[in-house]
Chain A
Amino acid sequence: MRFALRSTGNPRSQSSAPIPFHCLLLWRLYFLAAIFALEAVLVLGPLHIEPGFHLGVSPVAIVAFAVFLGLGHPWLKAQRERIPFGFIFFGGYLACVAAEICIHAVMALHGAGGGFSNAAVFATTAIFFFKVPLLALACVPLRLWIRMIRATSPLWFYACAAGVVSWSLLHPSWSLWTASSAGFGRVFQTATFASVQALLRLVRPDAVANAAAFSVESPRYLMEIAPSCSGMEGFGLILAFTSIWLWYSRKECRFPHVLLLIPCGLGLIWILNVVRLCALFLIGDAGNPEVADVGFHSRFGWIAFTAVALAFSMTTQRLSWVRKARSPVLSAPDGAPGGSSETAMVVREKLSQQQGESPAIRAYLIPFLAILAATFVSRAASGYFDRFYPLRFIAAAIALWYFWPELKKLNWRFGWIAPAAGAAVFLVWIAPAWWAHQQAASRLGADLAALSPAARWAWIGFRVAAAVVTVPIAEELAFRGYLARRFVSRDFDAVLFPSLTALSIGLSSVVFGLMHMQNMEDWQHLLVGTLAGLAYVLVLRSRGRMGDAVVAHAVSNLLLAAWVLGTGDWAQW
């Protein structure tokens, strides 16, 4: 399927003057999508607004937009015109969002209990139809929308058709989750239950299975397999990942051969889910129901998804049967059939040098990834209390020690501004709790008190050491050393810290804030995490030394540790 994309003939597109990427058409469309995604997260999260109209429109809009961007990517990327940002339209959009929030606040205050009255539904729907065009016009002027639709025609039709297909699939796909006897979810639930029952019979033949209630029981533990626990989440996540990955690597993959890997991935995630449920039962039956229900239940799901996703991506890169053969030009650069293999190797070597990430990424990212991986493992093996927290410190310390020969080349010196910024971040971090004179509820203090004194102080020692040493180094390398500079250039290690842009500073700080959210409604940590990220990156930018950012981060964490241990405000940990 090829689209005859017509040239726009725009004289300004011929200009050779460098244009900031955020003024280009493709990036404006990405920005449009990001704003809507952020709004959706806020609507469903901290603002506590009923999704209402968003819920019905979202799948259609997401699919239509993704198809338009995906199929029209070559044309959109080729547009080099500088696009002005419509601040007036953006102001109108923000006013619409504010009006929407006000309507919901008024409804909540006047006895509607947060629900919708007919007037509120009408008003918010009307606002929705106002704000979408306003944001669209703020990002891209009307004349460019018209030109884009004309130039990419009939792409708009395919995108809309894809959206309608998604709409028609909305309710059938929801029915997959229903537990009614007629629902597809029941078929999935039955198959998963039968598999778990068969597998458990091998190791616990005395476990009692109740097919009517989809439960497996022993004297010490009862496990019920709900429809949502029967592997549908894994199917959804793997389908999303594989489709995005195949799109990303479409030029390297051989179609339709590579599509056969999809059912393999789905089958693998389903088998791992059966293994997860069996292990869950065995952990609970062994006398650790809290570990089974709280830690293992969801963490192992993510571990399994990550493992399958990595296996899928590695297979698409390594298995020659699903990889696209090199083009004749590349395999025989001298033009002769089966030309000089030596020259072809040189061409491939040059290509592999141009593509992919900078080799320096390993030293910057692996310590942080080690912490994340250790967190999943330690939390999967714990209940409410993360008794294996020292694993995070050890994993990060090993990674940092391994990459230290590369990392020691960075400038680790620091000045007085670093501890001052760290202290300021600490004050901002604890300000909400200090202002409210109220400590959030936390089980950590009671869980620590239940340990022996030696175990308690060992745990606290590792917690403080991680907060002050390994976490600041690993997070600063990942967020400031890599991510902030990666937003500027693919060769991030060639970007000097003082040349970080406002966009890279802002985006990396928001990602840092997102990483500190503890749940969907935790807007407080999102906000203070973002502010902390901004402070650290600004210190780094002003001095140009990694040491300043790390020391600022370490001082914040050290003061926070002192606050927690001094006041018993365990929720801050």
Chain B
Amino acid sequence: MTKNLLKYSFVILSLALSSCTAAYGMAFKRLPEVDPSLAISGLTLLAGTLAVLRVRRKK
């Protein structure tokens, strides 16, 4: 019970903080790293690499 509460609380807190940060960044456009074109390339590189790393073993 405590572990799950801790787990969910952390996830909620993280999402809250990161969504606030993103909202701030998108609204005021002060953040070069949150520039969408750069962010799309960066996130694509990260997501693609994670997908390649999670490849399953050959049968």
CA distance A468 to B15 in the complex (A): 42
B25: min CB distance to chain A, Å: 7
Contact indicator A372/B22 (Cβ below 8 Å): no
Q: A369-B48, A519-B37 are in contact. Are A356 and B3 (CB under 8 A)?
A: no
CA distance A166 to B16 in the complex (A): 5
Cβ of A215 under 8 Å from chain B? no
Contact indicator A233/B42 (Cβ below 8 Å): no
Q: Give the chain B neighbours of A262 by CB distance below 8 A.
A: 10
Contact indicator B21/A372 (Cβ below 8 Å): no
Enumerate B1-59 residues with CB–CB distance to A below 8 Å.
Answer: 1, 3-8, 10-27, 29-42, 44-46, 48-59
Contact indicator A368/B37 (Cβ below 8 Å): no
Contact indicator A236/B21 (Cβ below 8 Å): yes
CA distance A63 to B33 in the complex (A): 22
Q: Give the chain A neighbours of B31 by CB distance below 8 A.
A: 228, 233
Q: Give the chain A neighbours of B52 by CB distance below 8 A.
A: 357, 361-362, 365-366, 369
Q: Give the chain B neighbours of A243 by CB distance below 8 A.
A: 10-11, 14-15, 18
A481: min CB distance to chain B, Å: 13
Cβ of A66 under 8 Å from chain B? yes
> Which of B1, B12, B38 counts the most A-chain CB atoms under 10 A from its CB?
B12
Q: Give the chain B neighbours of A2 by CB distance below 8 A.
A: 4
Q: Fill in one digit per residue for A153-196: 1 if any B CB lies within 8 Å of its CB, else 0.
A: 00000000010011001100110010000000000000000000
Q: Give the chain B neighbours of A309 by CB distance below 8 A.
A: 46
Q: Give the chain A neighbours of B53 by CB distance below 8 A.
A: 310, 313-314, 317
Q: Give the chain B neighbours of A358 by CB distance below 8 A.
A: 55-56
Q: Give the chain B neighbours of A372 by CB distance below 8 A.
A: 41, 44-45, 48
Segment among A15-23, A197-205, A300-308, A501-509 that sits at the interface with chain B? A300-308
Q: Give the chain A neighbours of B5 by CB distance below 8 A.
A: 1
Cβ of A259 under 8 Å from chain B? yes
CB-contact partner of B19 in A59, A237, A247, A299, under 8 A: A59
- CB-CB nearest in chain A for B54: A356
Q: Give the chain B neighbours of A349 by CB distance below 8 A.
A: 57
Q: Give the chain A neighbours of B39 by CB distance below 8 A.
A: 302
B4: min CB distance to chain A, Å: 5
CA distance A340 to B24 in the complex (A): 56
Contact indicator B33/A233 (Cβ below 8 Å): yes
Contact indicator A365/B42 (Cβ below 8 Å): no
Contact indicator B44/A63 (Cβ below 8 Å): no
A-B interface contact total, Cβ < 8 Å: 198
CA distance A365 to B48 in the complex (A): 7
Enumerate A208-262 residues with CB–CB distance to B below 8 Å.
Answer: 228, 232-237, 239-243, 246-247, 250, 255-256, 259, 262
CB-contact partner of A355 in B6, B49, B56, under 8 A: B56
Cβ of A39 under 8 Å from chain B? no
Contact indicator B55/A233 (Cβ below 8 Å): no
Contact indicator A520/B37 (Cβ below 8 Å): yes
Q: Give the chain B neighbours of A44 by CB distance below 8 A.
A: 26-27
- CB-CB nearest in chain B for A254: B3
Q: Give the chain A neighbours of B20 by CB distance below 8 A.
A: 59, 166, 169-170, 173-174
Q: Give the chain A neighbours of B56 by CB distance below 8 A.
A: 352-359
CB-contact partner of B51 in A71, A239, A246, A361, under 8 A: A361
Q: Give the chain B neighbours of A174 by CB distance below 8 A.
A: 20, 24
B10: min CB distance to chain A, Å: 6
CA distance A385 to B34 in the complex (A): 21
Contact indicator A298/B35 (Cβ below 8 Å): yes
CB-contact partner of B48 in A45, A234, A246, A368, under 8 A: A368
* B positions within 8 Å CB-CB of A: 1, 3-8, 10-27, 29-42, 44-46, 48-59
5 contacts between A and B (CB under 8 A): A1-B4, A313-B53, A355-B56, A357-B54, A359-B58
Known contacts A256-B6, A298-B33, A517-B36, then 11 further A-B pairs from the complex at CB < 8 Å, ordered by chain A residue? A45-B36, A169-B16, A170-B20, A233-B21, A243-B14, A255-B3, A355-B56, A361-B51, A369-B52, A515-B41, A518-B37
